[in-house]
Structure 1
């Protein structure tokens, strides 16, 4: 009697094991096995991190194993189980891999294809076609679109984290990790002693310094020592947490009437302001999006303030970026003076603080929340709705949407919701942050998510003009490495442009992102159909880069880019492409480390060993 050896791997995360009954059915081209209980009798099966093997006996050879069906039935109480993968050794000695990497909850079943990726047009038998369609039908019922606020990108239909599908919820370790990291941060900052300071006004700069009394980070210490200086203020626009707003100034806007006489003392090349602009030495940051945004009022007696500032910056002969003029509003006039470095030092410092306040609001709400978190969620929801697990693009993208729906749902539940943390502590709370995103959506285009296009559009692509713009330089290298890896994967499965056009699932994914995720806004210019491998490569590179490198640049690192612990791909060419990708990233990390040696302000935010795979925090 033929016998198949089935090996089952249980996940290593907390509570991955189960005491429930697990059944398996092998579905082959020539027949099916009987529904078989996997039970080693004298041993505990399916313990956390365990790899268990079983014999499944059949009356006759089943032919090519096409599907593996797993069923979980309650033993004495409902006990979720995380299955990592299943392997099947056939009577002829062949090994087949069936990646799972999902939770089985309640009395549910999961039907797995083998680990080889297939485009929809590659499937020939009705059995696998039906399985593919059934999986997508189920997913579309589970992963539904919802508009959280008018004018926002669409999100997953879940009001609370616990309402999410189990496969996209945080693992238990992740939840504990949040608590531990928060506690560690509180301890490091020693803020318990000074918590009252966050609830009231500060009397002087010394109050601010007390908060960081226990910080031992050399970069933070250096910033604390020099934050009042103009060079540090300008440097942060290049390599701080919001390095995406600085633009080359091609012409002074009428709303910002800076004259040569105002700034001549700050210019070092014996050129007029107009000549400095023509030479490419003048830059500008403009927080116009804050104009008209209502500021928060945490209680009847505490009104907060916002300023839609404009700041002119100058590249001096030492290639430092220095502020030379600041206006706190968008409408010039007597009540909107232009502040200059020649003003009283505290007037000038206060003007810079207002700009930094504007930058904080822009960074938190637009750069970070909208353009990494919410956009990555759009791609993630559309992926689950339109791409089955056997699709190569699903396998490519799944590490890069991990936990994104979970963290965003937590944010909508606790952070940006009414009476959430934003409302309690942020000047754009109380609805201002919602207004900002609604306004910012009107300038969010697909091309603005393409890193090279975004850099070029702001006129900051010339390395000779801005030699210390490390965000740009490192970003280019990571973008190209990512694009090269994506290109390798795409060319393995798509043999021509026609193959892309004929892939109904990938086209449905692209359309779902635009027509539903981005609500078909005319201004967003997201594609609805891709006609070539080149366009598909660029599109997928945007997704991976946004979720990993771009988010890291405006946040911080977790799992490092290029490391894929869940092996959804099994093909050797893809694994070789992954290895090449990892080597390229390691080389970039090494060169960044060398460049940073000896620098008082090293820049690591775009170093691949600091880049997370996904938006997960």
Structure 2
């Protein structure tokens, strides 16, 4: 960290925040007798009674409703990881779900094929986890399933899981589970899906697609733009602490996942997973309107991440158009800006390894192209990071809801799971305590100190006032007013919800990846 330029290092107060949080968490775990314990939990109730130092209304709701299929499906849209679910226009050949299997869970008078044609079937596919190297604990590799989960949207707008396969190759040892199977079987296989989802969430959707992408953009910006360049002025507030926070993030985010994250045998699980996803990452997948369309999620109801995110994307895009219009009145200014061209070429060739299949631009010809790309950069480093980070304590602190580690192999036959099986599969007491505390550290700043030591810089704030032109100042003010209007609509909507979706409220979105 000491090698970083002084302007991107942590301030004294920010460094203190991390040190204090770490020591406070360690002391808490020791006080409760959780630190280093390798014992399994005696019961789910004992886990609930012990992990109670910190809480939130949503976390309490999760702990009470995590078994419910309707709430389980809801989380794929509005939980901490809304980035994996997609419409299922055709059943995968390696997921042989039949009409007979799922008919009891469909609306009366319809069929599986009819519901597919109506667009009411959705899929979460974790194929990228297949064959990854995982941590070895007590001589056994930790299990990680390349699961498939089919979800059904009924006429009430409720999304529920109706079929789960814990592997990519169906067989007698890899059966398809359905909700009518024994209750504990169904509960355990749902936990294995959420374990797979948690690993993709932390390593890809969170670490790679926000933290590490922000690092790519930040390094290229500092490398190619002088501080008087309008894009330097516009973008650097969105890289506050990015390089320093990523040094910590590589350790904190990867530690509890169960994957091998340090290179001892070459093909470590964490890096291999990121290689796989980077090879498949497209420019359109980073642009929210395109991403939503590509996943076929334009019309699914009660998708608050989409609704709030698209409003923010539009507001950011309008803001960027106005700002860049001051400095690039025509396309000629874009094509003639050598610093701008070197910036995007560096991002394309070094950040995305020159992968032309990604659709990542290698140069800019028009103002519109620059505006879209800069919109993506700002959205990624602010709103998208908030969406996949801020809800971690709410949805992950109750460990069975989103376990980052599981200890026993997945079930291969039906009717064999007991509560003892589930408790032996969940993380042990020590790992559960660490996981819960990490979730709090990542997503919550200590309230009593927040205003004094660690003031947030929220989306739309430019406290360094790099733009001196009256027109630019007015554009920033207009942007802030539009964000306030979005916030009012979110608050009004949330007042009608059992579980408010708050992670894209502008007042709670940091301007950069700084936590």
Give the equivalent residue in structure 2 for 1:362.
Answer: 200
RMSD: 1.8
Identify the match of residue 560 of structure 1 among 448, 458, 464: 458
Partner of 1:502: 336
| 1:49-82 Cα deviation digits (max 9, x unpaired) | xxxxxxxxxxxxxxxxxxxxxxxxxxxxxxxxxx
1:282 to 104, 108, 121: 121
2:208 aligned with 1:310: no
CA distance in 2, matches of 1:184, 1:454: 39
Q: Distance in 2 between matches of 1:532 and 1:448?
A: 21
Q: CA deviation at 1:197?
A: 6.9
Listed as ranges, the matches of 1:418-433 within 5 Å are 422=255, 425-430=256-261, 431-433=268-270
Aligned CA distance change for structure 1 residues 563 and 198 (closer, same or farther; 3 Å): farther
Counterpart check, 1:434 vs 2:268: no
Q: Does the 8 Å contact 1:296/1:426 carry over to 2?
A: no
Deviates more, 1:201-210 or 1:357-366: 201-210
Any gaps of 5 or more consecutive residues in structure 2? 262-267, 391-442, 444-455
Judged with a 3 Å threshold, the aligned counterparts in structure 2 of structure 1 residues 354 and 197 are, in CA distance, closer, same or farther, namely farther
Using structure 2 for the length normalisation, give the TM-score.
0.83
CA contact (8 A) 1:190 1:212 kept: no
Residues 26, 35 of structure 2: 8 Å contact kept: no
- Structure 1 residues 184 and 239 mapped into 2: Cα distance closer, same or farther (>3 Å)? farther
Question: 1:224 maps to which residue?
Answer: 63
Question: Is the CA contact 1:190–1:214 (under 8 Å) kept in the aligned structure 2?
Answer: no
Hey, what's the Cα distance between the residues in 2 that align with 1:321 and 1:211? 32
Give the alignment of 1:160-559 within 5 angstroms: 161-182=1-22, 192-196=31-35, 199-298=38-137, 300-412=138-250, 414-415=251-252, 422=255, 425-430=256-261, 431-462=268-299, 466-556=300-390, 558-559=456-457
Q: Could you say what secondary structure the match of 1:312 adopts? A: strand
Asked if residue 575 in structure 1 is aligned to residue 415 in structure 2, the reply is no
Q: For residues 171-194 of structure 1, give each alpha carbon's deviation from its aligned partner in whole angstroms, at most 9, with x where no partner exists.
A: 11111112334456678x767414
> 2 CA distance for matches of 1:211 and 1:591?
38
One of 599, 602, 617 as aligned partner of 2:497: 599
Contact 1:290–1:306 (8 Å) recurs in 2: yes
What CA distance in whole angstroms lies between the structure 2 residues aligned with 1:210 and 1:434? Answer: 37
Q: How far does residue 361 in structure 1 lie from its aligned partner after superposition?
A: 0.3
Aligned-residue offset at 1:583: 0.5
After superposition, what is the alpha-carbon deviation per residue over 1:149-186, rounded to whole angstroms, capped at 9, x for unaligned? Answer: xxxxxxxxxxxx11111111111111111233445667
SS state at 1:409 partner: helix
Q: Which has the larger radius of gyration?
A: 1
Secondary structure of 1:163's aligned partner: coil
> 1:403 and 1:328, CA in 2 relative to 1: closer, same or farther beyond 3 A?
same
Q: Per-residue deviation at 1:613?
A: 0.6
Secondary structure of the 2:114 match is: helix
| Bigger strand share | 1
1:321-368 CA distance string (max 9 Å, x none): 100000000001111100000000000000100000000000000000
Q: C-alpha distance in 1, partners of 2:9/2:290?
A: 34
The one-character-per-residue Cα deviations of 1:240-263 (angstroms, maximum 9, x if unpaired) are: 110011101100000000011101
Give the alignment's TM-score, normalised by structure 1.
0.70
Q: Quick check: which one's helix share is greater? A: 2
Distance in 1 (alpha carbons) for counterparts of 2:488 and 2:139: 53
Distance, in Å, in 1 between the alignment partners of 2:348 and 2:479 is 29
Structure 1 residue 200: Cα displacement: 4.2
Aligned mates of 2:51, 2:95 — CA distance in 1: 37
In the alignment, is the contact (CA less than 8 A) between 2:207 and 2:249 conserved in 1? Answer: no
Q: Residue 510 and residue 494 in structure 1: after superposition, are their counterparts in 2 closer, same or farther (change >3 A)?
A: same
SS in 2 for 1:241: coil
Deviation at 1:426, TM superposition (A): 2.5
Query: Do 2:29 and 2:35's aligned partners in 1 also have CA atoms closer than 8 Å?
Result: no
Relative CO higher for 1 or 2, CA cutoff 8 Å, sep ≥ 6?
A: 2
Kindly indicate whether the alpha-carbon contact (under 8 Å) linking 2:259 and 2:269 is maintained by their aligned counterparts in 1: yes
Inter-CA distance 411–216: structure 2 relative to 1 (3 Å threshold): closer
Matches of 2:494 and 2:36, distance apart in 1: 35
